[in-house]
């Protein structure tokens, strides 16, 4: 991936952007499992919020594999797509999204503070 700038990566996935000339918006490509999302900062925040909401949902009470069972349904920024995810994957997804948001906001702040 030539000329990509990695924003953040963990064991679950990677977030990066492709810099384009004359653009100030920082959209991120977030890739995990077999999925890739091209998201704005607001969409990243929405996705992170939906991940937090999914953690509050009940799982099967007697399931011996609660942390690894893909029984949680997470809304994605795409209105036509939700995804099944395990609790362990959800924690890693939140980490990926939250660190990406933090780094994009810091970069955005530095860009505008220095201009």
Give 81-104 pLDDT, tens digit per residue: 999 898 899 999 999 999 999 999
> What separation, in Å, do the N-terminal and C-terminal C-alpha atoms of the chain show?
30
- Number of domains the chain contains: 1
Predicted pLDDT at 25: 66
- Structural domain that includes position 74: 5-56+65-113
Classify residue 74 by its DSSP letter. E
The pTM (predicted TM-score) of the whole model is 0.84
């Amino acid at each position: 991936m030539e000329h990509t700038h990695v924003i953040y990566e963990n064991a679950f996935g990677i977030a990066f952007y492709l810099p384009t000339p004359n653009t100030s918006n920082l959209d991120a490509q977030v890739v995990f499992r077999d999925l890739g999302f091209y998201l704005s900062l607001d969409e990243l925040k929405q996705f992170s919020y939906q991940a937090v909401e999914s953690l509050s949902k009940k799982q099967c009470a007697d399931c011996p594999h609660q942390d690894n069972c893909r029984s949680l349904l997470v809304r994605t920024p795409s209105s036509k797509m939700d995804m099944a995810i395990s609790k362990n994957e959800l924690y890693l997804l939140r980490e990926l999204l939250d660190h990406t948001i933090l780094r994009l906001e810091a970069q955005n702040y530095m860009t505008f503070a220095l201009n």
